[in-house]
Amino acid sequence: MNNDFSSPQRQSLIGVLIMFADTLQSAIRALFPILIVWIIKIDQMNKIYLTIGIVAVFLLVAVIAYLKYINFTFYLDEENEEFVIKRGIINKSRLGIPLDKIQQVNINQSFLQKIIGVHALEVDTAGTAQKEVTIKAITHDLAQSLKSRLLEGIKTTSDNSEVETESHNTAVKHAFIQISLLSLFKTGITSNYVRSFGILLAFFITMFQYIEDFIKYAEIEDDPLDNYLRTDVILKFIMFIILAIMAMVIVVNLGRTILKFFNFRITKQNDSLLLSHGLLNTKNTIIKPEKVQIVTVGRNYFQKKLDILDIKIRQASSQDANNHENKKSAIEIPGCNTVEKDMLLKFLLHEIPQEGIVLKPNIRKILMQSIKFLITPLAAYFLLANYTFTELKEYILFLPVYILFISLIIYFGFRNSRLFVSNEFIIKQGGAWDVDKDYIAPHKIHAISVHQYFWHKGSDIGILNLYTAGGKISFGLADYTKLKQFVNYWLYQVETTNKNWM
C-alpha cells in the first residue's frame, strides 16, 4: 500500500474514542481526591446537582478529546528530512524529528484499540527520556507503511521510490522463533519468585497492621485477636501466609506471563527481527543487531531443569543509561530453550560468545554485603525495638527467617559472581537465585570507570563500571590491578576497531 505522507493528515476518526478515554483517565487522576469525597458523602449530596456535575465533566472531556483530534496532524517533510507533528489545543506546538535520529518505531495495540480496530505508533529518538511522540489511532496498513518510511532514515526521490516500495512489499519474512504456550506456562511458574513474594508478603503484613489499627481506633475494649494470638497460632498463621503467598506468586506470575507474552512470535525480516506478542494488548517491536547494546540471558534452578531461559535485550535508548527504568524497558523474550537462545545470540551478536579469562570477586564482597544487609538492619531493629518502638519486639520471630534468607542470598550471589573476558566479548555473570549473564562487545562501550575507596587500597580491590547506550554494567569487588589491565585493553580495542557502536 503506497501512502503519501507529504501532506498533513489526521488520525482515524474513530480515534476520538481513544482521545476521550485518555482524557477521561487524566481527569480522574487529577480529580481523584474530590471523587473520594463525593463517594463518601454521596448520600448527603443533591442528586440533581451531582448528575449535572458528572454530565458536565463528560461533556468537557468530550470537547477536549475532539480538539486534540482536530489539532493533531503528522506528515513527512521530504525537503528537510523530518517527521513533523503538530499538536495542542490552546498552546500549539510543532515537533520536527530528523529521520536519521529515529532509533525505534513500534506499533502497539491496547485492548480498547483492538476493539475499535486501530493501532498506536510510537517514535523514539535519542533526544529525550520518553517516547518522542505517539500516534494513538491509525489503521494497521497506514501504521506499517509509516513505520517503514520512518525507519528508512533517508530522503526518497520520485525516481527510486517505486524501487524501494517494491523492495518493501516483497521483503521476505522468515519465521524465526515462536514461543509455545507450554513454554510460557513453564516460565510463568518458575520466574520472579523473590520480587512477587516480597510484594505479597508486604501486602499481607500491611493488611494485618490495618486490622490492628482499626480495632485500636474503634475503641473496642476486648481485642478479638488477643484470644487467638498465641505462639503456636502465630507460627501456624505465618506458615499459612507463606504457603498462600507462594501459591499467589505462581498464579500472578503465570497470569502476567500469558497475558503479556501470549502468541510470542519472532520473525526474521531482512537484517532485523520483528517481535509480536500479547493477549489483550498487542505489542510489536523491531530489533536491529547493530543497535543492540547488551544481551542478558538468565535462568534459575527450575528453569535449568526445564531447559528454558529468559532473554532481555537492551538497545540504544533515549533513556538515561544509569536509570533503573532503562532496565525495566528492556525487550523481553521468555521461555527460550538452549537451541533458540544460541540462534538469537548468533543473530544479534554474530557469534556465540565464549567465556575466556575469568575474574572472581574478592572475599571482602561477602563482608561488605553482610554489613549492608545483615549487621546494619539488625542493629537498627534492636535499637528501635529497645528504645523507640517497643512494639517491634512482636516481630522478633521473623528474624531467624530473615537472617537465613539474606545469608543464602549473599553466599550464592558471591559464588555466582564472575567476569569473563575474551577478545570479542565481555560477559558479566551474577545473581543468587536467578543467574544472569550480560553479554557486551567492547566496541559498544561509551565510557569506563574503575575506582576504589581508600579502605580498598590495602587489599588492592576495586569496582568496574562499563557504560553503553543501553545501560551500565558493574562488577566488584575484584582485583584492582587486573581490572586496570582489562580497562587498558578495552580502550585499545575501542580506539582501533572499525566497528560502530550502532
Domain coordinates in residue numbering, the chain = 13-171, 174-287, 290-361+417-496
314 neighbors 326 (Cβ within 8 angstroms): yes
The tens digit of pLDDT for each residue in 60-71 reads 989 998 998 999
72 neighbors 84 (Cβ within 8 angstroms): no
Q: What is the pTM of this model?
A: 0.77
Query: Within 10 A of 202 (CB to CB), how many other CB atoms are there?
Result: 10
433 neighbors 412 (Cβ within 8 angstroms): yes
The tens digit of pLDDT for each residue in 152-174 reads 754 443 344 333 333 344 344 55
Strands (E), 340-456: 357-359, 418-421, 426-430, 435-440, 447-451
The tens digit of pLDDT for each residue in 85-102 reads 999 888 888 888 888 778
Strands (E), 278-395: 282-287, 292-299, 309-315, 331-336, 357-359
Q: Per DSSP, what are the bridge partners of residue 419?
A: 359, 428
Distances (CA, A) of 260 to 181, 281, 402, 480: 12, 7, 32, 43
Termini Cα distance of the chain = 30
Residue-level pLDDT at 211: 62
Q: How far is CA 438 from the centre of its chain?
A: 16
Residue-level pLDDT at 169: 41
The tens digit of pLDDT for each residue in 245-302 reads 677 778 888 888 899 999 999 998 778 888 989 888 888 888 888 889 999 999 999 9
Q: In a 10 Å sphere around its CB, with 0-12 CB exposed, 13-18 middle and 19+ buried, how is residue 30 labelled?
A: exposed
pLDDT greater than 60 at residue 21:
yes
Q: In a 10 Å sphere around its CB, with 0-12 CB exposed, 13-18 middle and 19+ buried, how is residue 428 labelled?
A: buried
Q: What is the layout of strands, in order, in the sheet containing 82-87?
A: 73-77, 82-87, 93-98
**Would the CA dihedral through 153, 159, 165, 168 be positive or negative?**
negative
- Overall CATH class of domain 290-361+417-496: mainly beta
Q: Please, what is the average pLDDT of the chain?
A: 81
Long-range CB pairs of 89-93 (<8 Å, 24+ gap) are 89/64
481 neighbors 362 (Cβ within 8 angstroms): no
Residue-level pLDDT at 157: 37
Strands 264-269 and 173-179: antiparallel
Nearest of 86, 88, 111 to residue 97 by alpha carbon: 86
C-alpha cell at 50: 451531582
